[in-house]
Amino acid sequence: MHALDIIQEEHRNLWRIAITMDWVADSLQNGEQVEEGFFVALFDYIQEFMDGCHHAKEDQYLFLAMRRRSPEAAVILDRLEAEHRDSPQLLQALRGFLGQGPRALTGNAEFIDALRHYADTLKQHIRHEEKDAFPLAREILQPDDWAGITAAFSDHHDPLFGKQARAEYRELYHRIVSLAPEAIGLGGRSAGGFAHLSSSSGAPQPLLKVDGLESCYGRIKALKGVSMEIFKGELVALVGANGAGKTTFLRTLSGIQPMSAGKIRFGGRDLSRVRSDRRVKAGICHSPEGRQVFGPLSIEDNLKLGAYLRPPEQLDEDLERVYAMFPVLHEKRQLPAGTLSGGQQQMLAISRALMGRPRLLLLDEPSMGLAPLLVEEVFNVIRTLKNQGMTILLVEQNAFAALGIADRAYVLETGNIVLTGTGQEMANNEQVRAAYLGM
């Protein structure tokens, strides 16, 4: 992976953190209580990852190489490095509000303003790097410069951003995910609300529980009593041959295909007889097989269709969040969706589903018809969503790739679940290897 790709991926995570801070500020202003544990996790992540690792990598490798190649880069880099140095002081000012309990933060105008200021500062800094520094870096740095920078960024033994350090950063990020509201899109516990550290513990309940699901096309029974459980934050793969019923299962979950028997419970609520639009509102968002974008409409209009049930005042933030993940869609946002390549259309289809702020994302054959390099790019996106705590049900004929990233997997044959286990167990199962992996 190229050094700039690594940095931009980190930028996308930091942008989501900034949007999270905006949402938290709105919640506090509206009188909601937020546990201090959330802010401790949030500020720890910013301090350890952004201030301690991300900025240090840029200063020590990318910016230093740019200064060596072009003295004119100093004007841009001096400003960016000054913002790096100022960031810990801004964060420390935010920490100063903690320690008095969640009620002291609710409606606290000074803290709310400070949160919003920090989020705005962070987003502005990312924009400066993306629009000013990175184009200049591409222009002035030579292949040997990039080789050295990328090697440093990819050093798994580096104490600052090696394998162990990255594991610690992921743990900090997952702490934020576990405490963030579901609506933010980080994978929190309840839509629109914040988790309380004092909430009762016990056996986790599945986010989705399907029992004995049946669906028919005329006299043909496509699903024959399918049962499945998916827990919050899991990536579950559903694999099987053509005609096994995988797409029918997703269509039935999203309410497009009628069910003839069984029960669907989502977030503790029975959705068996609920309309498809109500299921979207509940948080089940579907990226369908074949992408099915609206070719004559602009890319941005396609995205807006994915948010048609969302409050209008949240639309700009939703678009910002998606464009941060898929910059190419932002660049081409005014073009007709039909002008995009197959891989870009798949990114658009996934983004359109994300615009609904899913609690459960249904992905149907996202790699279908794509060249191998584009398949890898699509699966990198799915990995990113998984690492952010998104709950995903992935239907995919590329069983090898799907099982490689799945926490758990189900095998569907002619409308019946015949095998289930962890992704690794299924990948090592001789029956699965012979039938679906070509081994």
Instruction: Kindly list the domain boundaries of the chain, sorted by start residue.
Output: 3-184, 208-436
Q: What tokens appear for 122 in the block?
A: 């962070």
pLDDT tens digits, one per residue of 134-193: 999 999 999 999 998 888 777 655 554 555 555 555 665 666 655 555 444 444 433 333
Q: Report percent pLDDT > 70 for the chain.
A: 87
Q: What tokens appear for 301 in the block?
A: 């209009």
Q: Tell me the C-alpha distance between 439 and 420, whole Å.
A: 19
Is the backbone of residue 350 left (phi > 0), alpha (psi -120 to 50) or beta?
alpha
228 pLDDT exceeds 90?
yes
Q: How confident is the model at residue 107 (pLDDT cuts 50, 70, 90)?
A: confident
Q: What is the pLDDT of residue 186?
A: 47
Q: What is the pLDDT of residue 171?
A: 61
Average pLDDT over residues 294-305: 92
Q: Indicate the length of the chain as a whole number.
A: 439
Query: 208-436 belongs to which CATH class?
Result: alpha beta
Q: Who contacts 295 (Cβ-Cβ below 8 Å, separation ≥6)?
A: 336, 337, 338
Q: What is the pLDDT of residue 193?
A: 32
Q: Tell me the C-alpha distance between 286 and 362, whole Å.
A: 5
Q: Who contacts 166 (Cβ-Cβ below 8 Å, separation ≥6)?
A: none
Answer whether 226's CB lies under 8 Å from 416's CB.
Answer: yes
What predicted TM-score, i.e. pTM, was given to this entire model? 0.58
Average pLDDT over residues 11-19: 81
Average pLDDT over residues 394-411: 89
Q: Which amino acid is located at 185 in the chain? A: G
Closest CA to 209 of 223, 229, 224: 229
Coil, helix or strand at residue 261:
strand
Which of 246-255, 272-281, 310-319, 413-422 has the lowest average pLDDT? 310-319
Q: Tell me the C-alpha distance between 363 and 287, whole Å.
A: 5
Q: How confident is the model at residue 84 (pLDDT cuts 50, 70, 90)?
A: very high
Q: What is the pLDDT of residue 298?
A: 94
Q: What is the pLDDT of residue 184?
A: 45
Q: What is the pLDDT of residue 4?
A: 82
pLDDT tens digits, one per residue of 319-337: 888 888 888 898 899 999 9
Closest CA to 176 of 295, 334, 35: 35
The dotted CATH code for 3-184 is 1.20.120.520
Answer whether 226's CB lies under 8 Å from 417's CB.
Answer: yes
